[in-house]
Structure 1
Amino acid sequence: MIERHLSNKRSARAEALRRAFYRFRQSRLSLIGAAMVATVVFFTLFGAVLAPFPEHVDGGVDTSNRFSAPSLAHPFGTNELGQDVLSLVMAGTPVSVSAGFAVVFIGSVLGVIVGALAGFNGGWIDDVLMRFSDLMLTLPSLILAMAVAAALGPGFGNMIIAIALAWWPGYARLVRGEVLQAREEVYVAAARAIGASPFRVLFRHILPNIVSPVIVKMSLDMGFAILTVAALGFIGIGVRPPTPEWGTQLSIARSYMPDFWWTAVFPGLAMFMAVFGFNLLGDGLRDVLDPRARR
């Protein structure tokens, strides 16, 4: 009997995954987004290794080859130091994307914990945590991140901490609402009836059943996190040269526009591809994972 139950459960899960994949494949934009994200992930893992001019990534210069237009030797041209722009863009992908992922991961973990505790416990705990979240939401996230980053100083780690501290309230509000709804479900009452502890009810029964909207929000937030990382680099309080990063490259290239347009266009296109791809993928995941948003 138990083996039959487990077999039926696995079959139902496999059928649900098959249906979800079918719905995802029905959207061309979602497939395009998945392909773009796969490309971005590939260059995140191997961009610095595959850069055609690794010495330029490490800070080497070639002043005799300054501002060369795009050509076979340099498909994206060269910058004011004679460095290959393609190599800098490829090497900047791991920095920008990994920073965005770290921001979303840290912000989501903090937000899930705060929102889960507030929604599950209610009372004064809910009031204190949510009023603090509301206070954080009243502050523009970019301005708050700029203030924290300026206080901590420039650097990759400080930049991630600064943005993540401004990122978690959205997840807290989302998870609180989902927990408030889920704690009234029958399976939660059944778990309490058999003597499950509050910790087990929350982390074993409630949170696994509300993970779908969190995953959707994380995928949609990746693009905005990458933009925020680039914004801090653009104004000079994020990653600093010679570490390649898209926002820093755009900040330097703006001084040479429009004469040497390629120094800004190609880092901007890389950023556009990453942000647009994650947004399309997030829309596809929302249609698959969130029953209320399915078309």
Structure 2
Amino acid sequence: MSDVIDPAEGAPRSDKLRRALFRYRQSKLSILGAVLVGLVLFFTAFGTVLAPYPEHVLGGLDTSARFLPPSWAHPFGTNELGQDVLSLVMAGTTVSVLAGFGVVLIGAVIGTVVGAIAGFAGGWIDEILMRLTDLTLTIPGLILAMAIAAALGAGFGNMVIAISLSWWPGYARLVRGEVLSVREEVYVTAARAIGAKPSRVLFRHILPNTISPITVKMSLDMGFAILTVAALGFIGIGVRPPTPEWGTLLSISRAYMPDYWWTAMAPGMAMFLAVFGFNLLGDGLRDVLDPKARR
């Protein structure tokens, strides 16, 4: 027998989606954030391909064109090696944004698992996991990431792992609070009453109801993750040249300020627009997805 799908079942979901989009469109700043994030994601995917001087992205030099000011040929000028700054910034978008996304994703997964187990199990398991979380929170995130990155060594993967290991406690506390609230709902009690296994109750009935706050936090955290990635690159324990990355580009250009200001302006503006866009997007999503923020 073939399954028959009732069209009425999809109506509530589509209606909720339309209302959510309507609420999101009410804020011009949220729309601006979505546009900026879309632009950042576009260059994340195609920045390296669209770079006007791809040979410079791969480490090519042109010493005869050192420190050329902005012009039609080089809209953001050239650096101390004669490389086109615009090409480096466009290619650096891929590294910086993907690293930030990796940090947020890994941190969210680890924190969600820890917080879900702590909130659902309770007792001594909750106590141990939350004390571990509190212990991690007592160490400044950037300092902890620097220590781990210095121990693991430079490189894209090591940098992402280092920051992720300092990023999960916020998600653990958030998810634990949500689980403690949701596990007392009537439908959870009903699921337990009919003999549902604890794992099914947790993953089928509780965790799906924590997705909205986690999504909002991830969108807000993207900007801070990009800044942290840039900070590690700036102090020299992140991605190393010739791989272009915004923090590394800023670190190199500081030696030539203020005479050759354009070498720092492009990566600085790219970082500002990315962080600004993700923060506006997160604020808009919070208004739509977080019931406590609705009026």
Please, which runs of 5 or more residues in structure 1 have no aligned partner?
none
Aligned residue number for residue 112 of structure 1: 112
Tell me the CA shift for residue 11 of structure 1: 1.1
Q: Distance in 1 between matches of 2:169 and 2:102?
A: 16
Question: What secondary structure sits across from 1:72 in the alignment?
Answer: coil
Tell me the CA shift for residue 136 of structure 1: 0.3
TM-score (ref. length: structure 1): 0.98
In structure 1, give the amino acid aligned to 2:134.
D
Matches within 5 A, 1:54-93: 54-93=54-93
Aligned residue number for residue 203 of structure 1: 203
Matches within 5 A, 1:212-231: 212-231=212-231
Aligned residue number for residue 175 of structure 2: 175
In structure 2, give the amino acid aligned to 1:205.
H
Aligned residue number for residue 144 of structure 2: 144
Q: Distance in 2 between matches of 1:231 and 1:250?
A: 10
In structure 2, give the amino acid aligned to 1:48.
T
Q: Deviations over 1:60-106 (max 9, x none)?
A: 01000000000000001000000000000000000000000000000
In structure 2, give the amino acid aligned to 1:45.
A
Corresponding position: 1:160 with 2:163: no
Q: Deviations over 1:160-196 (max 9, x none)?
A: 0000000000000000000000000011011111111
Aligned residue number for residue 187 of structure 2: 187
Q: Deviations over 1:237-264 (max 9, x none)?
A: 0000000000000000000000000000
Aligned residue number for residue 293 of structure 2: 293
Q: Distance in 2 between matches of 1:294 and 1:275?
A: 24
Q: Cα gap change, 1:142/1:53 in structure 2, threshold over 3 Å: closer, same or farther?
A: same
Question: What secondary structure sits across from 1:210 in the alignment?
Answer: helix
Aligned residue number for residue 42 of structure 2: 42
Tell me the CA shift for residue 294 of structure 1: 2.1
The alignment-based identity, stated in percent, is 75
Question: What secondary structure sits across from 2:237 in the alignment?
Answer: coil
Matches within 5 A, 1:246-257: 246-257=246-257
Q: Deviations over 1:91-127 (max 9, x none)?
A: 0000000000000000000000000000000000000
Tell me the CA shift for residue 4 of structure 1: 10
Aligned residue number for residue 96 of structure 2: 96
Q: Distance in 2 between matches of 1:293 and 1:131?
A: 29
Q: Deviations over 1:34-76 (max 9, x none)?
A: 0000000000000000000000000001000000000000001
Aligned residue number for residue 17 of structure 1: 17
Tell me the CA shift for residue 9 of structure 1: 3.2
In structure 2, give the amino acid aligned to 1:258.
P
In structure 1, give the amino acid aligned to 2:281.
L
Which aligned segments of 4 or more residues in structure 1 are displaced greater than 6 angstroms? Answer: none
Aligned residue number for residue 264 of structure 1: 264
Question: What secondary structure sits across from 1:77 in the alignment?
Answer: coil
Tell me the CA shift for residue 209 of structure 1: 1.0
Q: Distance in 2 between matches of 1:178 and 1:193?
A: 21
Tell me the CA shift for residue 6 of structure 1: 4.9
Matches within 5 A, 1:264-283: 264-283=264-283
Tell me the CA shift for residue 291 of structure 1: 1.1
Q: Distance in 2 between matches of 1:204 and 1:8?
A: 23
Q: Distance in 2 between matches of 1:21 and 1:204?
A: 26
Tell me the CA shift for residue 13 of structure 1: 1.1
Question: What secondary structure sits across from 2:213 in the alignment?
Answer: helix
In structure 1, give the amino acid aligned to 2:182.
A
Q: Cα gap change, 1:6/1:291 in structure 2, threshold over 3 Å: closer, same or farther?
A: farther
Q: What is the root-mean-square deviation of aligned Cα atoms in Å?
A: 1.1
